[in-house]
Structure formats: structure tokens, C-alpha cells
């Protein structure tokens, strides 16, 4: 049964780090992070030990949605740098064996993309059908669809007197994946990046690509919020079965290259929809390599809930498929803020680090997570996110989780020598990378240690996962392969814990506790990794 010969595969065995380029490091003082900034911080990424970076979009964009509105899929946005900067980034990262993942925003383009400019110019333009155009129905909107970012999903365009569909902002018209020429054009753009050396793609809102052919009205339902958008059951504007055909073609394209990876953002409103996410893995080989399940972004701090969400997600992965895990990203409050608990937030962050890096599945780390960055407090006048501007004060938008990386205790946390595009979180003087590099027991060095251990230990990467304690007592524990036993005390109380083997040793503990014998005491919020000795030699 030993599969220990499985070859290292970067996106299965490695750790992936998400960079939000605007906020990582600014090399030229304009207050906006850039490609040269990322290059300058390569030593840090190497120190941390990650294997790949996923860059939120850096293509040409008017920035209505900060890059998630692309104007030219083949060019680099000048705010972020030049084409040469980007080629240098690929070269330098590849030299250090760090892979580069691009964000593919393919549900929509920017309204300033030339395709759209042509498409809107006349009803007979050859690219007319590359977007979704409709005439008014009985003098009104074509149907009842709403935009996720507020208002109707249909925007009236004077030039031709028709409406176009936009699932997000009106500056983000949805492209028509049912049109073969459009599909070919998008695939050509993807090929362009594959040929230029991109190792993988994160597919933005992959479950939204195809819309109902008849554009039927969504039925209404009781939603999780009083917003009309959330009171519709989105069976016609999302999750259409035809999307899977697109992904099968996409997969064939990727499979022409060696070791290229895809991960899908399957976005549905809280609390995450793991079953839906797993559908995008197809039979485990014919669609996406991985898909995000956002369940853990919406749960309360509770060992049992974590157990349920994680085990459910893992069970849904088709055989031959591979899971991944994510705790934070550029759209959701940071984990340190979500799981905030006075005096114990750092302990909780440690538990999360051990969990993320010992689960079966590829870990995704969001920049700043490794130093426990909190959401920033942004005053109304400093808001940048269009969503925050629209829904303030009910929803403050996504700026809080996008504040600049906290490099050191210096002006603007060492992120820029200019004025940062978003204010730096005020806690930077006590929470920053420079400080944590020098503290042996910092959260940062915990991430570093765990990433290293994971790299060394086959069973922490590929070993099967079997749950032991399922959270009833506040403890979550599991085996990885027959070698590692991981126990996490989610509680603020002391717990007795019986390792499943008498002959075992503690490899690691957040408390650096004594040797395990028959039973052990787990301190409040302690996480331990135990190694079973006898199996090791068998
Ligand atoms: C995805 C992105 C988000 C963006 C949206 C529209 O959810 O993660 O940042 O605003 O798609 O492209
Ligand atoms: Ca800059």
C-alpha cells in the first residue's frame, strides 16, 4: 500500500502563497505595490519556504475592481511594472524553484476591453455575440437577475438600445462562453501565458461562466441577507452544467503542457458550498486540479464544526482528485480578525497554522497570515473597494483585509516611501515581519517550521487522513498516514489526551511539552504533532 514513491508534484506537495500585488511591496514610492517589489522580496519568500505564489491580477486594467476587470489579457498593467519586469520575475522565481500562478478573470472583462468596445458599437458587429446582449422585455429589464455588487445585472446601453449583462459591476460585462469564437480567443490568451512560463491559474468565479440559455428568471427564496440578490436562488445565472464542458476543454489545453495547475474559485454566498466546489473537479482528472471550499471562512471557533466542515470537504473529493485548504483571501475578513478572542487570538492563529499545514490537501496562505495580520480599520474617506463604498456602513467592503504588508517598524510599515494606497494597519509597530523573523517562537517562524517539516515528511503531504477526536471535547485530532498524529486543543482549558500509540514522540508542540507516554495533558490552545515510532520502521 505504500505510495511513498509518488514523485514530488509542486502543486500537491508544495505550499501556495497568495500575493495581492497592490499591497505587497512598493518599489518606486507611488504607494502601490508592484512587480519589482515582489522581486525585491524574493528572499523573504524563500525564507518562509513557499513553493508557489498566486498573484491577484496584474493585467492591464482600469482598476474599477482593482484588477478583476481586465482590459488586455496579454499585457501587464503599467502601475505594476513593465513586460520586462514581469519576465524578470518569472526568471528569478523559477531560478529559485518558485512557481507563478496567474489569476484568470474569465467570467467578464473590463468594459474598456477592445472586445467590448467593438461588441457594443453595433448590433451587427462581429463581436456582438461575444457578450450577452438583450433587448428590453415588455419595456423592462430582460429578466430579474441582480448583480452581486448591487443593483440590476442588466445595463442599458444607449448606442444600440439594448442591455448587456454584468454579474458584478457595470464596468465588468460578462462574456458569452456559448460563443465559439469568443471561447477560442480566450483560450488563445491562456495559451499565451502558458507559453510565457506561467505555471498555473486560479480561475475567478469559475461557477459563473455560463448562463441559462433562455435567461430564465431566478426563483425567489429566503436568503441569508435581506438584499434582493441574496433572496434569489441563483439557478439560472450560476452553476450551469454547461460550464463543465468549458472546463474539460480548458483542462485539455493545460494537459498539453507539463505540470501546469488550475484551481477554481467556486463562489456562492455563505456558508460555502463544498458539494458544488467538488463538482468542478469532475472525475478527478478531467476538469480543475483543485477548487476552493470556503466553508472555514464562515464558521465559528469550534473544534466540532471544524471537524464537520473539513471531513465533509475531504469526503467530497472525487477519487483521483486532490483537495486544497484556504483560511483567508482578498475577499474575506482575515482569519485573525474572524477568530478574534481577547488575549487568545495569537494562540488561535497558531492552531490554524498547524491545522492548515498538516491537513491532507494543498495549503493556501494569504500574505500577512503568517504574521497574524488583522483587518485594518479604514475610515470612510479612505475606502477604495467599490463594494465598501456602496454598502457602507452595513458592509465595509474588502479594504480591511487588503492593507499593506507589515514589513517592519518604520514609516508605513516599510511598505512604501510614498503614501500607501490603503492605510497601513496601526499595529504594525508590534506586528511585522522583521520583528517576527528575530523571535524564535513567532507565528512567522511557526509557519516556516511547519512548511519545512511538511516538505521533509512524506506522510504530512500525502499520507491518508483519519480523524480520531472529532471535537466533542474541544480537541480535534487526526492521523496522517500511520506515522503522524496531530492533536489540536481548540479550548481555553486543559485537556487529557491519549496518543494512539505507546511508542511515540512529540515532534512539535506549541507549548514544547514533555515526552508523550500513555497520556498527555494538552494545555489550553496547545497543538502537538506526535510521531508513532513503530510504524516508522515497518
Ligand atoms: C472574485 C474575486 C473578487 C472580484 C470578483 C469579481 O470573487 O475574488 O475580488 O471582485 O471575483 O471579479
Ligand atoms: Ca509602485
The ligand 1 atom nearest the CA atom of 329: 8
Ligand 1 within 6 A of 157 CB? no
* 499's grid cell: 496518543
Q: At 538, is the pLDDT very low, low, confident or very high (cuts 50, 70, 90)? A: very low
* 202's grid cell: 486560479
What's the CA gap between 120 and 118, in Å, rounded? 6
Burial (0-12, 13-18, 19+ Cβ within 10 Å), 524:
middle
The separation between the first and the last C-alpha atoms of the chain, rounded to the nearest angstrom, is 12
Q: How many CB atoms lie within 10 A of CB 416?
A: 25
CA of 455 to the centre of ligand 1 (A): 31
Ligand 1 within 6 A of 168 CB? yes
For 292-342, the pLDDT digits (tens) are 999 999 999 999 999 999 999 999 999 999 999 999 999 999 999 999 999
Strand 52-55 with 484-489, pairing:
unpaired
Ligand 1 within 6 A of 289 CB? no
Residues annotated as part of the active site: 204, 265
81: nearest Cα among 45, 40, 114: 40
Ligand nearest to the CA of 404: 2
Ligand 1 within 6 A of 267 CB? yes
The ligand 1 atom nearest the CA atom of 167: 6
As a whole number, mean pLDDT of residues 430-454 equals: 98
CA of 26 to the centre of ligand 2 (A): 4
Residue nearest to ligand 1 atom 6, measured at CA: 68
As a whole number, mean pLDDT of residues 78-102 equals: 98
For 152-171, the pLDDT digits (tens) are 999 999 999 999 999 999 99
pLDDT at 535 over 60: no
Ligand 1 within 6 A of 68 CB? yes
CA of 347 to the centre of ligand 1 (A): 31
Ligand 1 within 6 A of 103 CB? no
Test site for ligand 1: of 56, 204, 387, most ligand atoms within 8 A of the Cβ: 204
Ligand 1 within 6 A of 105 CB? yes
DSSP of 332-393: S--HHHHT--TTTHHHHHHHHHHHHHHSSSEEEEETTGGGTPPPPP--GGG---HHHHHHTT
Residue nearest to ligand 1 atom 9, measured at CA: 331
pLDDT at 4 over 60: no
Q: At 172, is the pLDDT very low, low, confident or very high (cuts 50, 70, 90)? A: very high
Sign of the CA dihedral 382, 386, 390, 391? Answer: negative
pLDDT at 345 over 90: yes
User: Going edge to edge, which strands form the sheet with 527-532?
Assistant: 465-470, 475-480, 484-489, 527-532, 504-509
As a whole number, mean pLDDT of residues 383-402 equals: 96
Q: What's the pTM?
A: 0.97
Q: At 223, is the pLDDT very low, low, confident or very high (cuts 50, 70, 90)? A: confident
* pLDDT of 80: 98
- CA dist list (Å): 405 to 165, 333, 499: 36, 15, 39
Peptide bond into 271 cis (omega under 30): yes
Ligand 1 within 6 A of 485 CB? no
The ligand 1 atom nearest the CA atom of 107: 12
Q: At 143, is the secondary structure helix, strand, or coil?
A: coil
CA of 467 to the centre of ligand 1 (A): 34
Ligand nearest to the CA of 78: 2
pLDDT at 3 over 60: no
* pLDDT of 151: 96
Q: Decide: 483 and 536 in contact? Cβ < 8 Å.
A: yes
As a whole number, mean pLDDT of residues 438-446 equals: 97
For 247-286, the pLDDT digits (tens) are 999 999 999 999 999 999 999 887 789 999 999 999 999 9
Amino acid at each position: 500500500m505504500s505510495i511513498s514513491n509518488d514523485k514530488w508534484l509542486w502543486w500537491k506537495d508544495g505550499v501556495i502563497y497568495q500575493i495581492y500585488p497592490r499591497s505587497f511591496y512598493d518599489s518606486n514610492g507611488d504607494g502601490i505595490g508592484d512587480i519589482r517589489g515582489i522581486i525585491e522580496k524574493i528572499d523573504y519568500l524563500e525564507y518562509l519556504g513557499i513553493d508557489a505564489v498566486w498573484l491577484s491580477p496584474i493585467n492591464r486594467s482600469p482598476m474599477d475592481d482593482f484588477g478583476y476587470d481586465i482590459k488586455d489579457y496579454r499585457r501587464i498593467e503599467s502601475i505594476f511594472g513593465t513586460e520586462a519586469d514581469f519576465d524578470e520575475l518569472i526568471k528569478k522565481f523559477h531560478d529559485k524553484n518558485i512557481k507563478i500562478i496567474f489569476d484568470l478573470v474569465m467570467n467578464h472583462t473590463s468594459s474598456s476591453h477592445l472586445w467590448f468596445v467593438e461588441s457594443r458599437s453595433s448590433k451587427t458587429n462581429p463581436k456582438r455575440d461575444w457578450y450577452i446582449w438583450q433587448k428590453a422585455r415588455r419595456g423592462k429589464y430582460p429578466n430579474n437577475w441582480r448583480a452581486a455588487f448591487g443593483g440590476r445585472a442588466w445595463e442599458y446601453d444607449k448606442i444600440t438600445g439594448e442591455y448587456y449583462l454584468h454579474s458584478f459591476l457595470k464596468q465588468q460585462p460578462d462574456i458569452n462562453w456559448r460563443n465559439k469564437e469568443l471561447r477560442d480567443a480566450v483560450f488563445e490568451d491562456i495559451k499565451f501565458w502558458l507559453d510565457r512560463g506561467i505555471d498555473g491559474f486560479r480561475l475567478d468565479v469559475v461557477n459563473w461562466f455560463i448562463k441559462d440559455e433562455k435567461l430564465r428568471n431566478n426563483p425567489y427564496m429566503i436568503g441569508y441577507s435581506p438584499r434582493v440578490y441574496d433572496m434569489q436562488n441563483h439557478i439560472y445565472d450560476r452553476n450551469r452544467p454547461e460550464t463543465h464542458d468549458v472546463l474539460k476543454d480548458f483542462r485539455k489545453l493545460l494537459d498539453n503542457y507539463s505540470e501546469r495547475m488550475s484551481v477554481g474559485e467556486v463562489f456562492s454566498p455563505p456558508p460555502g458550498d463544498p458539494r458544488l466546489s467538488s463538482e468542478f473537479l469532475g472525475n478527478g482528472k478531467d476538469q480543475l486540479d483543485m477548487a476552493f471550499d470556503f466553508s472555514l471562512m464562515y464558521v465559528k471557533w469550534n473544534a466540532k464544526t471544524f471537524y464537520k466542515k473539513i471531513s465533509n470537504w475531504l469526503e467530497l473529493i472525487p477519487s483521483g482528485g486532490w483537495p486544497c485548504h484556504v483560511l483567508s483571501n482578498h475577499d474575506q475578513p482575515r482569519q485573525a480578525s474572524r477568530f478574534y478572542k481577547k488575549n487568545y487570538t495569537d494562540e488561535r492563529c497558531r492552531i490554524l497554522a498547524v491545522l492548515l499545514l498538516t491537513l491532507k490537501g494543498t495549503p493556501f496562505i494569504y500574505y500577512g497570515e503568517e504574521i497574524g495580520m488583522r483587518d485594518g480599520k479604514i475610515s470612510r474617506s479612505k475606502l477604495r473597494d467599490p463594494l465598501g463604498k456602496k454598502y457602507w456602513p452595513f458592509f465595509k467592503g474588502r479594504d480591511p483585509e487588503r492593507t499593506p504588508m507589515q514589513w517592519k517598524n518604520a514609516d508605513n510599515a516599510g511598505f512604501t516611501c510614498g503614501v500607501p494606497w490603503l492605510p497601513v494597519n496601526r499595529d504594525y509597530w508590534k506586528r511585522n515581519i522583521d520583528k517576527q523573523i528575530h523571535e524564535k517562537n513567532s507565528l512567522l517562524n511557526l509557519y516556516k517550521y511547519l512548511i519545512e517539516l511538511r516538505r521533509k515528511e512524506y506522510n504530512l503531504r500525502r499520507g491518508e487522513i483519519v480523524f480520531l477526536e472529532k471535537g466533542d471535547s474541544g480537541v480535534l485530532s487526526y492521523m496522517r498516514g500511520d506515522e503522524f498524529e496531530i492533536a489540536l486543543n481548540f479550548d481555553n482549558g486543559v485537556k487529557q489526551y491519549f496518543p494512539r500509540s505507546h511508542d511515540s514522540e512529540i515532534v512539535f508542540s506549541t507549548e514544547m511539552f514533555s515526552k508523550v507516554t500513555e497520556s498527555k495533558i494538552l494545555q489550553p490552545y496547545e497543538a502537538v504533532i506526535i510521531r508513532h515510532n513503530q510504524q516508522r520502521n515497518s
